[in-house]
Chains A and B, each alone.
Chain A
Amino acid sequence: MSPTRRPSRIPTEQETNGRRGRSITDDDANAINRVEELSYDLKVHEVMTADLKTASPEMPLSKVLEILRVNHISGVPVLQGDELIGILSLEDIVRAMQKNELSAPVSQYMTKKLLTVTSYDSIVSAIQKFSDSRLGRLPVVDENYKLVGMITKGDITRGILVALQKDYKEEEVRRYRASHLFEDIVSDRTTLVLRYNIKAHDFTHGGNASSHIKRALLRLGADPQIARRCGIAVYEAEINLIIHTTNGGILKLEVESHRITMSTVDDGPGILDIDQVLQPGYTTATEEVREMGFGAGMGLVNIKRCVDKMDIESTVGKGTKLVMRIFVPTENLNVRKEG
């Protein structure tokens, strides 16, 4: 939305030509962030000001100036009956003041060339019109070209902020619901199991499973420190699967009220000397992988530091199983011990 802040990057085709008039592809969809998404979702009528101050064409400019001053606004639409015939802004009044003509009627100084937006348009079309025209406000009309409101850039910013706040609240609600899982479902032992298939050498998706796991734990009401420790441990394990395995592996998270178990299983190549791989700085990563910043030989060391218990079993030619456990203090994960 603000290419001027990214001088060192060539604008994409999308940014140059806009997205209007063609449907959004999957690739586009991935590139759209929430704010952009909102500018397509939100409609003009949802953010505009509907409570309007208006002027009539006969009204003297001095009276409009008073309306603007009292209401802290910088322009008003001009209506003849209920037909929109122009817009009068402070700039128009300044022009009149220069000629000392504040008693002139509105019709003499108003802008008649009208740029409008329709109420059911998405706000992106209003944003487009603002940036094309450099205007500060636009009249909003319905399908019969009847004035229904005014929209300013401030209205758009406010509308987006309110919608983002709503997103945030929805996340809170999700978190609240998930955090009741362990209370609401009664069993002798409840375990929530999440599985992720990790592909070998798939650096593009490296860290995705870990970030999903961290979010899941937070939604389940885990202490942020614990979620963070799990996130770091599981990230290192995920990256190990990506760097070292022959066919990838499975990353599993098991959440119980008193502990979190994370594990990875793969089918090769297996580790020859486990004591050696536990040495800080020991690495078998290729030069190519190390250039990306992986393969520092700190992965397992980091895992050990983050979890309460780490077990690793491996057979060359068969595969490796890594189990990491974090024990949850009872006040965490919103667990209520039922009697």
Chain B
Amino acid sequence: MNLQQIIERLNLTVLTDPRDFTLVQPDGGYTSDLLSCVMAGAKSNYLWITLQSHLNIVAVAALLEVAAIIITENAMPDSATIAKANEQGICLLSTTKSTYEIDGKLWEMGIHTQE
């Protein structure tokens, strides 16, 4: 399942510059709003699902090289955060749905965690 299909199926809004999302194949996902937990739990090329939308999520995502951040419940990052994400090549996606709902749908779509 590539990121383009995920974006379409979950009806996500792409906040950062468009790219060829068909080339991105996430290896799994991780959900937390605590940055240190994400540092410990998310692996590279994972999707990170969070309510956080401030500038620091970009630094965390860049260090971990996550496939994309899905920001839930319509939490909207400011333009500085979006600019920083573009600069660092991090893809920010937004949804009105809750984290619980997104996690459930991703799992149903076969995006599981890898052990």
CA distance A211 to B55 in the complex (A): 14
Check B63–A296 contact: CB distance below 8 A.
Answer: no
Question: Within 8 Å CB of B35, what residues of A?
Answer: 239, 292-294, 296
* Of B54, B79, B88, the contact of A211 (CB 8 Å cutoff): B88
The segment from B36-44, B97-105, B106-114 found at the interface with A is B36-44
- From B54, B59, B83, A235 is in contact (CB under 8 Å) with B59
Q: Is B14 an interface residue (CB 8 A)?
A: yes
Tell whether A298 pairs with B37 under 8 Å between CB atoms, given A207-B60, A293-B56: yes
Cβ–Cβ < 8 Å partners of B82 in chain A: 9
Chain B residue with the shortest CB-CB distance to A31: B83
Are A293 and B34 touching (Cβ within 8 A)? yes
Give the CA-CA distance A302 to B56 in the complex, in Å: 17
Determine the residue in chain B with the shortest Cβ distance to A297.
B36
Contacts of A31 in B (CB 8 A): 79, 83
Collect the chain A residues with CB atoms within 8 Å of residue B64's CB.
228, 232
| Given known contacts A33-B17, A33-B83, A204-B55, A211 and B62 CB-to-CB distance under 8 angstroms | yes
Query: For chain B residues 33-89, which have a beta carbon within 8 Å of chain A?
Result: 33-37, 39-40, 44, 50, 52, 54-60, 62-65, 74, 76, 79-80, 82-83, 86-88
- Checking A8, A30, A210, A302 against B59 with a beta-carbon cut-off of 8 angstroms, the contacting residue is A210
- Docked Cα-Cα span, A302 to B36, in Å, equals 7
If A206-B56, A293-B52, A293-B56 touch, does A30 touch B83 (CB 8 Å cutoff)? Answer: yes
Which single member of A12, A34, A302 contacts B79 (CB below 8 Å)? A12
Q: In residues 225-279 of chain A, which contact B (Cβ within 8 Å)? A: 228, 231-232, 235-236, 239
Complex alpha-carbon distance, A125 and B56, angstroms:
35
Inter-chain contact B63/A232, CB cutoff 8 Å: yes
Which residues of A sit under 8 angstroms from B57, Cβ to Cβ? Answer: 293
Q: Mark A270-310, 1 if CB is under 8 A from B, else 0.
A: 00000000000000000000001110111101100100000
Q: Are B40 and A211 in contact (CB under 8 A)?
A: no
Is A134 on the interface with B (CB-CB < 8 A)? no
Given contacts A8-B94, A296-B34, whether A232 and B39 have CB atoms under 8 Å apart is yes
> How many angstroms between the C-alpha atoms of A6 and B79 in the bound complex?
11
Contact-size category for A: 35 or more
- Give complex CA distance A300, B12 in Å: 35
Q: Determine if B65 and A5 form an interchain contact, defined as CB atoms under 8 angstroms apart.
A: no
- The contact of B13 among A8, A203, A211, A293, by CB within 8 Å, is A8
C-alpha spacing A204/B62, complex, angstroms: 15
New A-B pairs, 19, CB < 8 Å, besides A296-B35, A298-B36: A2-B17, A2-B18, A5-B18, A12-B79, A30-B83, A33-B17, A33-B83, A33-B86, A35-B17, A204-B55, A208-B59, A210-B63, A228-B44, A236-B36, A292-B56, A294-B36, A296-B36, A298-B34, A299-B36
Chain B: residues with CB nearer than 8 A to chain A?
Answer: 13-15, 17-18, 33-37, 39-40, 44, 50, 52, 54-60, 62-65, 74, 76, 79-80, 82-83, 86-88, 94
CB-defined A-B contacts under 8 Å, sample of 27: A2-B18, A5-B14, A5-B18, A6-B15, A7-B13, A8-B76, A9-B15, A9-B79, A12-B79, A33-B17, A203-B54, A204-B80, A207-B56, A207-B62, A211-B62, A211-B63, A228-B63, A228-B64, A228-B65, A292-B35, A293-B34, A293-B35, A293-B50, A294-B35, A294-B56, A297-B36, A298-B37
